[in-house]
A = this chain, B = another copy of it.
Amino acid sequence: MILVLKLNQTEEAVHEVEGHVRELGYEPHTLWGEVRTVIACIGDETKHASLEALVNLPQVVEVLPIQKKYKLISKEVHAEPMPVTVEDVRFSAETFHMIAGPCAVESLEQTVATAHAVKKAGATLLRGGAYKPRTSPYDFQGLGEEGLEILAEARRQTGLPVVTELVSERDVEKVAGVADVIQIGARNALNYALLTEAAQSGKAILLKRGLSATLQEWLLAAEYIAKQGNPRILLCERGIRTYETATRNTLDLSAVAVVKQETGLPVIVDPSHAAGRSDLVAPLARAGVAVGADGLIVEVHPDPEHALSDQAQQLTFSVFGDLMAELAPYVSLGGRSGFRT
């Protein structure tokens, strides 16, 4: 950490700060600048107490943290890519995959029909929620176990691996029994107990960015998963909360580019939740491909108008087919395989 001192400190005042630094287990290196004095504190921040309290010393203006705290998923620490394989699908910098399916599993018919349709259009994984976290307790909360059985049947019929959300530690075993990829949603993105149990299942994890998670928080949430010995993590950017209300969320594609510098993990873009409106899914999907994402996750429903959730953003089969055709050349430009339409 770096302590930034107030202007015009006496030597004595600086020595007093140095004393605090030493006492907390760090070696202070004081740099008397032309304008301002700073103290660089040498020591492993992961082994000693934080120096943050020193911001309250009268001599100190600011305490600047230096070390990043994610290691297992850090490209800086481990330069190699960290591709994730799910059955015969490989997410990596050389491939591109579409995950598609309904927001919620509503019935066997709806889910199986959607699975067939998205497979036919070129999707390689099926998404669908059996457990739905809803803002209102009076909204449809998903079919639960029945939904999981339906997803299993859809997989049997289509061969598509299944991505489905986990919302409670109580359901880990059940969800892991069906899911090929366990999704952690935006609301639970900093629910470390859930992340830990999901990780322990050994299943691949699709980790959505929290509603207002910083990149640091998002990557540290991934580190919680990796720390359980499970490096099969798909990061998913789905829009963040900002002041702008014209879209449901603000898709942060810069984040995709930054995160890919920080970690070798694959990054997926979710244009459906970002936009909240079906007519914006195609442009945002194209942009997600172009920015360098490793895959997309898109909501598709046989009849969005009568869906039980996310009515405004789910695509019909036909629109989804058009989207796949539209995306293909963008994927080719990136020199990636695995995407077929």
User: Which residues of chain B are near A257, meaning CB under 8 Å?
Assistant: 275, 280, 283-284
Q: A169 touching B190 by the CB < 8 A rule?
A: no
Q: A311 touching B253 by the CB < 8 A rule?
A: no
Residue of B nearest to A215 (CB): B246
Q: Known: A40-B40, A138-B69, A250-B252. Is A168-B167 also a contact (CB below 8 A)? A: no
User: Which residues of chain B are near A317, meaning CB under 8 Å?
Assistant: none
User: Which residues of chain B are near A10, meaning CB under 8 Å?
Assistant: none
Stretch at the interface among A42-50, A87-95, A107-115: A42-50
Taking the closest CB of chain B, its distance from the CB of A99, in whole angstroms, is: 19
Q: A54 touching B214 by the CB < 8 A rule?
A: no
In-complex Cβ contact of A305 among B43, B53, B305 (8 A) = B53
Q: Does A105 contact B (CB under 8 A)?
A: no
In-complex Cβ contact of A243 among B32, B54, B214, B258 (8 A) = B214
User: Which residues of chain B are near A212, meaning CB under 8 Å?
Assistant: 211-212, 241, 243
User: Which residues of chain B are near A31, meaning CB under 8 Å?
Assistant: 29, 40, 42
Q: A279 touching B261 by the CB < 8 A rule?
A: yes
Q: A77 touching B7 by the CB < 8 A rule?
A: yes
Interface members, chain A 152-203 (any B CB < 8 Å): 167-170, 187-188, 190-194
Type the 1/0 row for A243-270, where 1 means its CB is closer than 8 Å to any CB of B: 1111100111111111001000000000
User: Which residues of chain B are near A53, meaning CB under 8 Å?
Assistant: 304-307, 311-312
Q: How far is the CA of A238 from the CA of B304 in the complex (A)?
A: 34
Chain A residue total in the interface (Cβ 8 A): 111
Q: Does A227 contact B (CB under 8 A)?
A: yes
Q: How far is the CA of A227 from the CA of B217 in the complex (A)?
A: 31
Q: A36 touching B67 by the CB < 8 A rule?
A: yes
Q: How far is the CA of A28 from the CA of B215 in the complex (A)?
A: 30
Residue of B nearest to A248 (CB): B254
Residue of B nearest to A193 (CB): B168
In-complex Cβ contact of A66 among B4, B307, B333 (8 A) = B4
User: Which residues of chain B are near A255, meaning CB under 8 Å?
Assistant: 244, 246-247
Q: Does A14 contact B (CB under 8 A)?
A: no
Taking the closest CB of chain B, its distance from the CB of A127, in whole angstroms, is: 19
28 A-B contact pairs sorted by A residue (CB < 8 Å): A2-B66, A4-B66, A24-B305, A31-B40, A33-B43, A33-B66, A34-B42, A35-B44, A35-B67, A40-B40, A52-B311, A54-B305, A56-B279, A137-B220, A137-B223, A190-B211, A214-B246, A239-B254, A240-B243, A251-B254, A253-B284, A257-B284, A283-B291, A284-B291, A287-B287, A290-B290, A290-B291, A290-B330
Taking the closest CB of chain B, its distance from the CB of A54, in whole angstroms, is: 7
Interface members, chain A 202-251 (any B CB < 8 Å): 210-212, 214-217, 220, 223-224, 227, 239-247, 250-251
User: Which residues of chain B are near A251, meaning CB under 8 Å?
Assistant: 252-254
Q: B278 touching A254 by the CB < 8 A rule?
A: no
Type the 1/0 row for A2-38, where 1 means its CB is closer than 8 Å to any CB of B: 1010110000000000001000100001011111101
